[in-house]
Every structure is written in C-alpha cells, then in structure tokens.
Structure 1
Amino acid sequence: MASPVFSGQPRSLSSRGTVVLEAIKHAILTGALPPGRQLVETELAQQLGVSKTPVREALKTLAGAGLVTMSEYKGATVRTVDDALMEWVYDLRLLLEPEAVTRTVERGADLAPAAEALRRADAAADRAERSLANRDFHRALYAGCGNPLLVSTLDSLRDQTALISAAAWERVPTWEAEADEHREILRAAEAGSAAEAAELLRAHVCGFVERVRAGGGL
C-alpha cells in the first residue's frame, strides 16, 4: 500500500485510536481507499505506524458506521457505493430529517454550529473535509429537535451520507450548488420559518438524488 493513502490524516488529535479512525475514514472519503478495497490490518498498521489493535478497533467502528463491510472469508473491505444504497439512505432521511429540522426551528435551538459548518465546508481542502463539514451542517439543524431517538437515528446515517456524497462528487461535482442550498436552508431556519426550512431541506435532499441520477448514477 502506498504511503500517500494517508497523506491527509489528522495530526492534532491526542488519542491514537481516534487518529487511526479518522485517518482511515479520511482515506475512504477521498477515494484513496476506494470502494471494494480490501483493508488488511497489518498493512494499515504499518502505514500508520501503530499496532494492529487500534486498526482493528477502527475497522469495527467504521463497519458500524456503514463505511466498511466485514466478511468471515474476505475480511474488511471499503463499502461499495451504488444507487440502491443512495436510495435507501436518502429515503430514510426524507422521512425523518425535515420533521427534525421543523422541531429544531420551532424550539429556537442554537444554529451557530450550522453556520460554522458552512464556513468549514467553504474552506475545505478536499472532498472528505467538505463532505464531513456538510454532514455536520445537517446535524446542527436536527440536533435541537428535542427527541434523542430521532437524533441518534439520523446520526446513524451520517457517515454513509458522507460516503455517498464523496462518491457522487467524483463524477458530478455539485458541491457549489449544494452550498447555496445550505445557505438558503440556514437563512430560513435563522428567520424562524420552520415550514420553509423543512421544505428547502426536502428539496435539497431530493435535488441531490436527482442530480446523481441525471449524471448516470453512482
């Protein structure tokens, strides 16, 4: 495995396990570790300069987040992204996220984290950083809904959403249009217009899927 795979790994985190987890996630979301790539613990550990233990734990965590698949015979591989996965993830988001955003706005929850996530997305150096910042933007809009079960359900989709976005941008780079849509959603939310924010969010999610389909799919 070539060393540039982990050239973008974070260096400011104190926990070795967190560094390993974020480094592998970053490599997956940038495509340095492409879908279907087998993830060999010994190779990853050598590249990252750690033992196999934090790598093994990171792969388990990434499997739980939907970025890695585990097989008794093939071991760990980067999850393959396809149209079916996109449809499943975004269908569930459409069922839950607009309602969560409506409740967040109606409760007057703090939206400053959403504005900060937008700034990070604009300043992102690569697809992985931009995708993760976008993920944080969406979470900031639903985290204040007042229902922890609803939040945790949407949280479970965050990494898969980031993986789908990164894969889609490889073929159809639509992040500028999506950033404009994010700004409009935040504008409505900050104005206290719950119904408008929810409708803009719904159109935003549907628009992403439609753009991917129009571009030939994943």
Structure 2
Amino acid sequence: MTSVPTPIPSRTQYVLDAIRHRILTGRLTPGQALVETELAAQFGVSKTPVREALKTLAGTGLVVMSQYKGVTVRMVDADMAREVYDVRLLLEPEALRRAVGRGALFDAAREALTRADDATDTAERSLANREFHRALYLPCGNPLLGRMLDEVRDQAALVSAVAWAADPSWEREAAEHREILRLALDGDADGAARVLHAHIASFVARAFPEPGPEEGQR
C-alpha cells in the first residue's frame, strides 16, 4: 500500500518557502546561523512552524543541524558540489531524453528561459534557471525519477548561487540553455541529453575545478 505524504501546515509552508528563498537568493549565506526565536519574530509566528520548516530544510540538504552549533545554512565546498552534480549527471540527461521521447511540449521550460533572460537580478535569474531545469526533467514519465531530481535541486541551486557570486557565468549558461531547449523541441532526444550533460559537467568543472597533481600532493 502506498503511503500518502502528510500535508505541511500552512504556516510551516510559509516559513519554509521564505527561508528557502532567502538561502537560494543569497540573503542567507552558507554558514550563517538560523536562530528559531529570531526567525519566528521576523515571520510573526511561533517557534513551532520555524522548527518544523528547519527540519524539512535539513532533509533537503539546505541547512545543517548540529547539537553544538545549532542550525546553519549549509556550507558549499568542492566535495559537496561534485557530489550533488554527480547525481544530476547520472539522472538528469536520461530524464530529458525520456521527456523528449514522450513528445513533451516544454512550455514551462520556454517560460522559465524567458524569465531568466528578462531577470533584473541574480536572485530572480537563479530561481528561473532552477525552474528551467525542472521543466526539462519533470515530463520524463517516471514520477520517482522526477522526485529524486527534486531532492537535489535545492542543493544544486545553492551551489549555483555560491559559484555565481564568485564568477558570474550566467550568459554562457543561458546560451547553453537555449541550445538544449532547441534540440528538445526539435525532437533530438540524444542531442539534447548530450548537450545537457556537457552543460552540467562544465559548470561544476569551472566553479570547482579538480586540484592539479602538485596541489593534490600538498
């Protein structure tokens, strides 16, 4: 028998969405402490929905709960970035290949790409790019595959936010997005998957390059 997920109470969902948005847009930075009483006062709620929201965010990998340090926004380093992007490389191109093969229209991807192009700041662009990738893999026809990619997309967006802060490369990535969508709309499943794989791999390689032989020996 399939279990039905328990709905998240509305106040908890409100706090959850607000904290997630602040993390993914850089208003809350990696390593920053998240204090329940302060957040409750900011959002005008009791500590209970804040505590439940932080537990959910810990489950998605955006925050870390420690007995000694409390709750903090997750730090991003090369190991974390490569771990998250390795999962994307394994699953996302295949999900797109299947979506193209099923004749997906990708209307949501086109809309997200337009929002990214029209964005006036990095935060808005980051959220639009996140939705663009989701719109590519969600019509794959395998709900479990979609949920697995959903589980890492917050962490991937956090990696992107940190990388963009150090080296804004969104124009290059936007051009790659347009090529991926063009191939998908043309029905070229293998081509779209191949370019998506290269897109994901090149981003993490640029943002978190592997150490050279000499660096590795230090």
Question: Are positions 1:71 and 2:57 aligned together?
Answer: no
TM-score by length of 1: 0.87
Letter in 1 for 2:123: A
- Partners of 2:196 and 2:133 in 1: how far apart? 9
Letter in 2 for 1:173: P
Offset, 1:72: 2.4
How do residues 1-218 of structure 1 correspond to structure 2 at under 5 angstroms?
A: 15-213=10-208
- Partners of 1:114 and 1:47 in 2: how far apart? 34
Is the Cα–Cα contact under 8 Å of residues 62 and 154 in structure 2 kept in the other structure?
A: yes
Is the Cα–Cα contact under 8 Å of residues 30 and 126 in structure 1 kept in the other structure?
A: no
Change (3 A) 1:152 1:178: same
Question: Does the residue aligned with 1:80 lie in a helix, a strand or coil?
Answer: coil
Runs of 4+ in structure 1 deviating by more than 6 angstroms, as ranges, are none
- Partners of 2:119 and 2:19 in 1: how far apart? 18
Question: Does the residue aligned with 1:63 lie in a helix, a strand or coil?
Answer: helix
Letter in 2 for 1:47: Q
Offset, 1:21: 1.7
Count of matched residue positions in the alignment of Structure 1 and Structure 2: 202
Letter in 2 for 1:72: Q
RMSD across aligned positions (CA): 1.8
Once the two structures are superposed, residues 137-170 of structure 1 have per-residue CA deviations (whole angstroms, 9 ceiling, x without a partner) of 1111111111122111111111001100000000
Q: Which runs of 5+ in 2 are unaligned?
A: 1-9, 212-218
Offset, 1:16: 3.6
Offset, 1:132: 2.1
Once the two structures are superposed, residues 105-130 of structure 1 have per-residue CA deviations (whole angstroms, 9 ceiling, x without a partner) of 01102310101111222233433332
Letter in 2 for 1:129: E
Offset, 1:75: 1.9
- Partners of 1:54 and 1:110 in 2: how far apart? 38
**Structure showing greater relative contact order (alpha-carbon pairs closer than 8 Å, 6 or more residues apart):** 2
